Structure 1
Amino acid sequence: MSNSENGERDPATGHPRPPRREFKARGSFVTRCEGCNLPELNCLCPYQVKADSIAQVWLLTHSIEHFKPTNTGRLIGDVLTQTRVFTWYRTAPDEELAALLEDPRYAPFVIFPDDQPDYAERVVDINAVHTVKQQARIPVFVILDGTWRQARRMFRKSPYLDALPVLPLRTERETRYRLRKPASKAHLCTAEVAIELLRQSGDENAADVLDDYFDVFNDSYAESRYYRKIAQPTAAMQRLLDRKG
């Protein structure tokens, strides 16, 4: 029976969880926390802090990413309460996503590089986000959650995204993600993309909370790979604990 059939839902989004499959990669034998999916040795749960933001993040997640404990998209939902997560389907959009894309309350932007001429007329900059705020609409960052190769396929094979403005992320930030080796330091992971977008669009507090939470995830997972427990809170851990009071 699938998780959607037995009623299991993501506590961060309220949406049905995607069907689980047995995790076969390195670390599949590790006992993981049911709340954060990290090894219990360095559980993330004590450091989860919620933050409000004007902008929302909608993740369009490749089905394979749902099963990777190293996926950082889930961190966004842990922090931002209004995050929505949709599984990418090539043939048709998620019905809820399709309805939301037509909802005039929202102003969605698909986050993607502006490196090809065939969609140049759709490209906007961060000022467009500030403009829709002034129009009392809710800016939405539609982030394609997958590898770079998967994201390009998702962008090209999703006609229901073709009407959306394309917002490329322009940042000097280099990735701090330690759990997968990127082709370039300029290739940020999903959580880092969200952090920079939030910061540039004026949601600095939410960006700071997510940035600290990302660092805690990064350090906790990396240490757990070597079965090492973090004995003393890192600076990011302490800031999150202080926020919780």
Structure 2
Amino acid sequence: MLDETYRADLGDREPVTGLSHDPATGLSHDPVTGHPRPPRREFKARGSFTERCPGCNLPVLNCLCPYRASAESKARVWLITHPLEHLKPTNTGRLIRDVLPDTEVFTWYRTAPDERLLALLDDPHFAPFVIFPDDQPDYADRVVGMDAVEVAKHQGKVPVFILLDGTWRQARRIFRKSPYLDRLPVLPLATTRLTRYRLRKPASQSHLCTAEVAAELLRQSGDGEAAHLLDDYFDAFNVSYAASRRYEKIEQPTPAMRRLLAYRGE
């Protein structure tokens, strides 16, 4: 369902208490020993020193910008993104916003929910669904199927797929520790598709990355053109990034890239 990665979960760690701070040196001191503690190093994603295109954030060797195309859809996608995901150039959630300009992205903080997100959840114009597995009994009464999306459309509402963008551990934490999500229906993604993601190793081939989940939801809910476009854009990203890791320049566009160029009228 979500992007897989192997890194420490630091997003909602509480601040360490009992440490004294010296503003002159910027160092914290252990309250027991009095020894200075060095400041934490800035988080650096793998490949952070690679020269990247400012437009698509991919290595300039195989820039993705020529293949960027946008589409319209009846459904919307809102991403609740773990803070560390923003630092990962391999994050696929941003591909959704490239293809669907109405996509909303909110950064998740456990103790400080995004005020704009809260306001949108209260907007009767939208019918939001949390995309999450139906594998626990305590929220079984909230689980719905894709037919609920069609009902929302018939009621004149805009269905919204809320994707929890992070590792599985992070996504479960977002789901469990965000009270404002407790009143929303839970829509599990039912699909037999396997992931095509090459840039991170998933725990299971059935774990789709964020862009793949969005494409499948769009397909199942009737937004076929947007789904195909996002699928092709994801494939172009996947191939371009993988080639750049091998320091290989893509000389001939792939079939997905050619379809994107044709869609752009090039």
Q: Identify whether the pair has TM-score above 0.5, normalized to the shorter chain.
A: yes
Tell me the secondary structure at the aligned position of residue 80 of structure 2. Answer: strand
Counterpart of 1:175 in structure 2 is: 195
Distance 1:222 1:148 in 2: 23
Query: What is the correspondence of 1:90-129 to structure 2 with a 5 Å cutoff?
Result: 90-129=110-149
Counterpart of 2:104 in structure 1 is: 84
| TM-fit CA distance, 1:93 | 1.6
Query: What is the correspondence of 1:197-208 to structure 2 with a 5 Å cutoff?
Result: 197-208=217-228
Tell me the secondary structure at the aligned position of residue 150 of structure 1. Answer: helix
| TM-fit CA distance, 1:23 | 6.3
Counterpart of 1:228 in structure 2 is: 248
Alpha-carbon spacing, 1:37–1:22, altered in 2? closer, same or farther (3 Å): farther
Q: 2:71–2:100: 8 Å Cα contact kept in structure 1?
A: yes
Identity across aligned pairs (percent)?
74
TM-score by length of 1: 0.90
| TM-fit CA distance, 1:81 | 1.1
CA deviations on 1:156-212 (whole Å, 9 max, x unpaired) are 000010000000000010000000000101100000000000000000000000000
Query: What is the correspondence of 1:141-152 to structure 2 with a 5 Å cutoff?
Result: 141-152=161-172
Tell me the secondary structure at the aligned position of residue 159 of structure 2. Answer: strand
Unmatched segments (≥5 aa) in structure 2:
1-40
Counterpart of 1:7 in structure 2 is: none
Tell me the secondary structure at the aligned position of residue 142 of structure 1. Answer: strand
Question: Following superposition, which runs of at least 4 residues in structure 1 exceed 6 angstroms of deviation?
Answer: none
- Counterpart of 1:164 (choices 178, 181, 184) is 184
Distance 1:240 1:34 in 2: 20
Amino acid at match of 1:24: K
Q: Which has the larger radius of gyration?
A: 2
Alpha-carbon spacing, 1:47–1:88, altered in 2? closer, same or farther (3 Å): same
Amino acid at match of 2:219: R
RMSD: 1.1
- Which has the higher relative contact order, 1 or 2, with Cα contacts under 8 A spaced 6 or more apart? 2
Q: 2:45–2:87: 8 Å Cα contact kept in structure 1?
A: no
* Residue 205 (structure 2) pairs with residue 185 (structure 1): yes
Counterpart of 1:5 in structure 2 is: none
